Amino acid sequence: MDPQAVRKDFPVLFQQVNGHPLVYLDNGATSHRPLAVIDEIKRFEEEDNSNVHRSVHTLGQRATELFEGARTKLAALLGVPGTNGLIFTKSATESLNLVAYAWGRHHLSEGDEVLITEMEHHSNIVSWQLACKDTGAVIKAVPVDDNGVLDMAEYDRLLSNKTKVVAVCHVSNVLGTINPIAEISAKAHRVGAIVVCDGAQAVPHMAIDIPSLDCDFYAGTGHKMCAPTGIGFLWGREHILEEMEPFHGGGDMILDVWIDHSSYNEIPYKFEAGTPPISQAVGLSTAIDYLNNLGWEAIRRHEIEITRYALDRLAELPDITVYGPTDAELKGGLVSFNIDDIHPHDVGTILDGKGVAIRAGHHCAKPLMRKLGVGATNRASFYIYNTHSDVDALVDALESCRKMFG
């Protein structure tokens, strides 16, 4: 995979920011869209736009075929058999809230325990806090060790017959740590717990085979993998989804409605009330084609290589602290770091003046920030169109930042 050739497919990259060529290193927040995705969404809006599952006319049928085709394509990407367990949502955040609300509030009770980790995104923390508040269950957290990986011995100690849920990210959005989901799932299932995996930072960057992970729910989002914003997904085991109550009420999620009660549609439609993100699903379908054509092995190999290069270049600078694993093979395509005595917001602002876009802040992971002993970090996150020259521009901008602050 040639990232220089890939860049040509992304028109947003060819612009000046503050008088400098844009260097976009905030892919952990959102990726950009290639022309193929932009053009297909435009074509859909001009030719096929209609609501799905409701109309017998030609446009309605075409829109439905494209929408359900995206679901089929996504199921193949995730390695899951069939599409019944694959629900479209607006984001990974909504997906995680769906599980916490529709499963958690009906299966947790006082004295039960929800086991999360110290590296979770707020979406996989706050949603469970709300469920525990309503049910009397309690949250416990698996600690992160000094190398930025989960303390699996402590995970073993915390697991018990009281554990009903293990909520864990596949890849940390701050540390880049790739967690051993299959091992976590196997141990959780021995005590009867379900495993809810946040895959938002994993699906765009590596081949995913959910059956081999053996989790019970897996959440992801489209906008981090070259698709539009406004579409995410939740995969769940069908027998669990069948037993769950709906998350939202409204059109298309029902079989019949009376004044005082309703019967619900089959899965996944039971969880897809109202008009779904149709053009976004069309864009996601095209984004999957685009990434499949690049090849997932090539994508992963490129990100390992550029992350390794970034770690090596950052190591040349004094006063830099890097958080998380320093072996690029063990992490996703991102590096979080701080420069001594310079606030990340100042770093991010100065870098933006050089045309370099990074993320500076707590990354929706405040418990992890407290564990690291910082209020915020800088994060450079890479994708298919990033090159060595992007990393060099980052390092040069950081040198300017250090000189500015003496």
Q: Give Cα separations from 147 to 91, 318, 368 (angstroms).
A: 30, 20, 13
Instruction: List, in order, residues 6 or more apart from 37 with CB less than 8 Å away.
Output: 226, 227, 228, 283, 286, 287, 290
Per-residue confidence (pLDDT) for residue 54, from 0 to 100: 84
pLDDT-derived band of residue 238, with 50, 70 and 90 as boundaries?
very high
Instruction: List, in order, residues 6 or more apart from 169 with CB less than 8 Å away.
Output: 117, 119, 120, 121, 124, 179, 197, 198, 199, 200, 201
Per-residue confidence (pLDDT) for residue 385, from 0 to 100: 98
pLDDT-derived band of residue 122, with 50, 70 and 90 as boundaries?
very high
CATH of 3-28+296-404, one of 3.90.1150.10, 3.40.50.410, 3.40.50.300, 3.40.960.10: 3.90.1150.10
Per-residue confidence (pLDDT) for residue 280, from 0 to 100: 98
Per-residue confidence (pLDDT) for residue 248, from 0 to 100: 95
Query: Active-site residue among 132, 169, 364, 401?
Result: 364
Residues of the chain with CATH 3.90.1150.10: 3-28+296-404
Per-residue confidence (pLDDT) for residue 406, from 0 to 100: 76
DSSP 101: I
pLDDT > 80? residue 200:
yes
What would the CATH number be for the domain defined by 48-291?
A: 3.40.640.10
Active site residue 169: no
Per-residue confidence (pLDDT) for residue 55, from 0 to 100: 86
Q: How far apart are CA 246 and CA 255, in angstroms?
A: 13
Mean pLDDT of the chain: 97
Q: What angle do CA 298, 301, 305 make, to 5 degrees?
A: 135
58-68 confidence digits (pLDDT tens): 999 999 999 99
Please give the structure tokens belonging to residue 214. Answer: 């053996």
283-342 confidence digits (pLDDT tens): 999 999 999 999 999 999 999 999 999 999 999 999 999 999 999 999 999 999 999 989
- Which of 83, 65, 69, 87 is CA-nearest to residue 273? 87
Per-residue confidence (pLDDT) for residue 73, from 0 to 100: 98
Which residues, in sequence order, are bridge partners of residue 361? Answer: 377
Q: How far apart are CA 279 and CA 284, in angstroms?
A: 9
pLDDT > 90? residue 117:
yes
pLDDT > 90? residue 382:
yes
75-99 confidence digits (pLDDT tens): 999 999 999 999 999 999 999 999 9
pLDDT > 90? residue 352:
yes
Please give the structure tokens belonging to residue 223. Answer: 């906008």
pLDDT > 90? residue 255:
yes
Please give the backbone phi and psi of residue 167, each rounded to the nearest 5 degrees, phi first. Answer: -110, 120
